[in-house]
Amino acid sequence: MDSTNQYEQTAKMLDPLFRGHSKIEHARQARRNKFYLRDEHVTLSHGSGGKATHNLIEGIFAPAFSNPLLDRLDDAAVFMTGNGHMALTTDTYVVNPLFFPGGDIGKLAVHGTINDLAMAGAQPLYLSAGFILEEGFSIADLRRIVASMATAAHNAGVAIVTGDTKVVQRGKADGVFINTAGVGIVRTSRVTGQDQLQPGDKILLSGPIGDHGIAIMLAREMLDLECEIQSDSAPLHMLVAALLEAAGEGIHCMKDPTRGGVATSLNEMALASEVAITLDERAIPVRSEVRGACELLGLDPLTIANEGKLLAIVAPEVADRALVAMRAHPLGEEAAIIGAVQATPASMVFLHTDIGGTRVLDMLVGDPLPRIC
Amino acid sequence: MKFVDEYRDSTLIHHLAEETARLSQGRSFKFMEVCGGHTHTIYKHGIEDILPANIDLVHGPGCPVCVLPMGRIDDAISIARTEGVIFTTFGDMMRVPGSQGSLLDARADGADVRFVYSPLDALKLARQHPDRQVVFFAIGFETTTPSTAVTLLRAQAENIQNFSVFCNHVNIIPAIKAILDSPDLRLDGFVGPGHVSMIIGMRPYTFIARDHHKPVVISGFEPLDIMQSVYMITKQISEGRAEVENQYTRVVRPEGNVRALQAMARTMELRPFFEWRGMGFITQSALKLRPEFADWDAELRFQVPGIRVADPKACQCGEVLKGVIKPWRCKVFGTACTPETPIGTCMVSSEGACAAYYNYGRFSLAAERAQSLI
């Protein structure tokens, strides 16, 4: 890639400025400090998947439940069993509306959990499904959602093997909430995870970003736009399998950039691995409809949720092979190398803008759109 | 994407930057971009990386969220907490801290606070909930004032009684006057606000050129717009001119939008004075509802405390808003004051200079440059 030089130049240019400037160094340190949760109430921002969610997890759950498996804060926990490594994950779905172009809450609940397992390099095997139903919810809609889950699970080759149902009074929930948990067998021998990034690594993205978040926004009729953007909800485990086949040991981290988008996912990696990441805005695929909607609403596609996209951080020597493998798969046809990892300035993400400037790319702050998954 | 990519043409932008550098050789200039929308674009696209080093952009007071004093936020929260009220606001306002928390905190605490994209959405809510009082938190410069005015006219025409407006609309011209009269700052020219000028036209800026001999170029919001405006200001200076010019001709008419101005004049009138965050009281700088619209005036319908609250001591929003200091020179920038736990308003809105600095981090060259200048 000819952009390698460009990335290195930026890193070289920025590093002394960061180290030399005490005020800025101070702010950078403050960002990395363990967070002390000051809020008195839970607000919707805590569910955004962005900085507030991060703070809630770091401030309450992580210290209380602390153990070596949890402390890595990856999408799924990977542990040793008699027959090798297993991955375990869980996720809860509260999307509003329940049905949207390209999917529904049921499909999302199956794909989301499959994807969390896939990101740990696991072949998903079994899922559980828990339902919280609101009194008065339409049985026809429930039937539709369950059928959609069954189809999604069947197509992905996983089985829903256990479940639970609770009903609450009218007004105590919003239609239906679904929790799914999943287990899978880990196929890689190498440890992947968001703390495994190495300077020199390349950032691969499997396709255009922002489709899911914008599709939900349009489905809520917040925008009177004449265009149909479909949610990208899809199971990524087969794409991951193809990637593992092609790049194997060279894969250092995989992540599906859901809530908080690509910006938040990459910031989490930069923090966990203590490296810098530089992206090239021009290399990042975004559909023009999504870009248009983002321009109108003042949103950044990099912070918008995806439900069927994969970020893979790979060693430079396997980057081209990994890209070819991704592009050969239907879910990765528009895959691109969008950036690279440097050693310093640690824990920061930068963006080369479309016009040739550079800016910091931070995690999502606040919540542009609650309850998207 | 059509009509966007054309205004982000890297080659043209770099060409204009070179021309600006040539015209300004051997001198250094400070231009203020008045509008928060410009500040946002400048950081989002990293324009300062491309500008010649001798041109310094200073961020002005044109961020509607940033200029609202704490007391008004407290008033808003007090209305929102009133029994039976649905309080509606633009998203940015939710997170602005008052002296006792933000609207977001009030909502988590049980108040019915909802965000809307337009005051007409608030009016729609009023129609849907005839048993509730719906209040719209009206903020913003001349850009957003006409939509509030039109909503008021419609509420009057339909005689919707359970709707009212908490009016905090402000005018940009008095704020620019206050900055020009302030001894703190030496400016060489202004990048004029595009959307405000779409309403008020070009004439109100004449005094800047005539009395203060500073060039004004009304600018659009894309990177190329801003770079061209900077070039046009530099060109004026190099030719010894000080005029009001219009770069944003695809949107701004010299006379403005007469119908919008009429709607504003029918519904609102000048307040004798209004407090601006960090800038103090500025005479005739804000609007309130006319007596004919008293029935829709939330300040008359509800008990508002109306207490003036001093800004937190550590917060230097005032200096930032006037362009006296760069955001990162504020004592609490990036440490106690961050977008998720803002102390000052400038850290809340994406148009606020501090949030733009923090989020998009023009830490690098700007920091170095600012240090060598100050």
ipTM confidence score: 0.72
- The answer, for B161 touching chain A at a CB cutoff of 8 Å, is no
- The answer, for A40 touching chain B at a CB cutoff of 8 Å, is yes
State the pLDDT at residue B90: 87
Query: CB–CB of B47 and A358 under 8 A?
Result: no
Confirm if B133 and B86 have CB atoms less than 8 A apart.
yes
pLDDT band at residue B305 using 50, 70 and 90 as cut-offs: confident
Separation of alpha carbons B170 and B144, rounded Å: 10
Measured on CA atoms in the order A224, A230, A233, A239, is the torsion positive or negative?
negative
CB within 8 A of B150, min separation 6: which ones?
B120, B263
CB within 8 A of B222, min separation 6: which ones?
B4, B7, B8, B41
Q: What is the largest CA-CA distance in chain A?
A: 64
- The answer, for A15 touching chain B at a CB cutoff of 8 Å, is no
In A218-352, at which residue ranges do the beta strands (DSSP E only) sit?
251-255, 276-280, 311-314, 336-342, 349-352
- The answer, for A36 touching chain B at a CB cutoff of 8 Å, is no
Q: Which residues of chain A have pLDDT under 50?
A: 1-3, 16-24
Separation of alpha carbons A220 and B116, rounded Å: 13
* Beta bridge pairs of residue A133: A167, A176
Confirm if A127 and A110 have CB atoms less than 8 A apart.
yes
Separation of alpha carbons B268 and B244, rounded Å: 28
Query: How many angstroms from the chain centroid is the CA of residue A282?
Result: 21
> Regarding predicted confidence, which is higher, B163 or B328?
B163
- Facing residue for A355 by CB, picked from B13, B360, B361: B13
Query: CB–CB of A30 and B338 under 8 A?
Result: yes
Tokens found for residue B269: 């009138």
CA of B12: which chain A residue's CA is closest? A355
**A-B contacts (CB, under 8 Å):** 114
> Which of A162-176, B43-57, B147-161, B215-229 has the weakest average pLDDT?
B43-57
How many residues are present in chain B?
A: 374
Query: CB–CB of B361 and A23 under 8 A?
Result: no
- Facing residue for A38 by CB, picked from B341, B359, B364: B341
- Facing residue for A24 by CB, picked from B50, B107, B363: B363
Separation of alpha carbons B339 and A362, rounded Å: 11
A299 residue type, one letter: L
Query: CB–CB of B1 and A359 under 8 A?
Result: no
Decide: residue A163, CB within 10 A, 0-12 exposed, 13-18 middle, 19+ buried: middle
Q: Which of A30-34, B13-17, B114-118, B322-326 has the highest mean pLDDT?
A: B13-17
Q: Which residues of B touch A288 (CB under 8 A)?
A: 1
| Res. B79: pLDDT tops 90 | yes
Separation of alpha carbons A24 and B328, rounded Å: 8
Decide: residue B250, CB within 10 A, 0-12 exposed, 13-18 middle, 19+ buried: exposed
CA of B221: which chain A residue's CA is closest? A295
B129 residue type, one letter: H
Please say whether the structural domain A75-187 has been given the CATH code 3.20.20.30. no
Parallel/antiparallel/unpaired status of strands A84-93 and A77-81: antiparallel
Query: CB–CB of B364 and A298 under 8 A?
Result: no
State the pLDDT at residue A363: 80
Query: CB–CB of B359 and A365 under 8 A?
Result: yes
Q: Which residues of A touch B4 (CB under 8 A)?
A: 291-292, 295
Parallel/antiparallel/unpaired status of strands B189-192 and B29-35: parallel
Half-sphere exposure of B134 (CA within 13 A, CB side): 25
pLDDT averaged over chain B?
A: 88
Query: CB–CB of A23 and B329 under 8 A?
Result: yes
Q: Which residues of B touch A15 (CB under 8 A)?
A: none
CA of A357: which chain B residue's CA is closest? B46
Hey, of B359, B369, B371, which one would you mutate to test binding to chain A, going by the most A CBs within 10 A of its CB? B359
| CATH domain A1-33+191-365 topology | Phosphoribosyl-aminoimidazole Synthetase; Chain A, domain 2 (3.90.650)
- Facing residue for A288 by CB, picked from B1, B104, B360: B1
- The answer, for B124 touching chain A at a CB cutoff of 8 Å, is no
Domain ranges of chain A: 1-33+191-365, 75-187
Q: Which residues of B touch A357 (CB under 8 A)?
A: 45-50
State the pLDDT at residue B374: 34
Q: Which of residues 176-205 of B touch A (CB under 8 A)?
A: none
Hey, of B57, B338, B363, which one would you mutate to test binding to chain A, going by the most A CBs within 10 A of its CB? B363
Query: CB–CB of B364 and A40 under 8 A?
Result: no
Residue A345: cis peptide before it, omega within 30 degrees of 0: yes
- Taking CA A308 as the corner, what is the angle to CA A86 and CA A346, rounded to the nearest 5 degrees? 75
B115-153 tens-digit pLDDT? 888 899 999 999 999 999 999 999 999 999 999 999 999
* Beta bridge pairs of residue A312: A204, A254
Q: Which of residues 40-69 of B touch A (CB under 8 A)?
A: 43-50
Helix B223-238 / helix B10-23 crossing angle, nearest 10 deg? 20
State the pLDDT at residue A284: 97
Query: CB–CB of A359 and B14 under 8 A?
Result: no
Separation of alpha carbons A129 and A124, rounded Å: 14
Closest CA to A136 of A159, A114, A167: A167
In A46-175, at which residue ranges do the beta strands (DSSP E only) sit?
77-81, 84-93, 99-100, 103-104, 122-134, 159-168
Separation of alpha carbons A31 and A365, rounded Å: 13
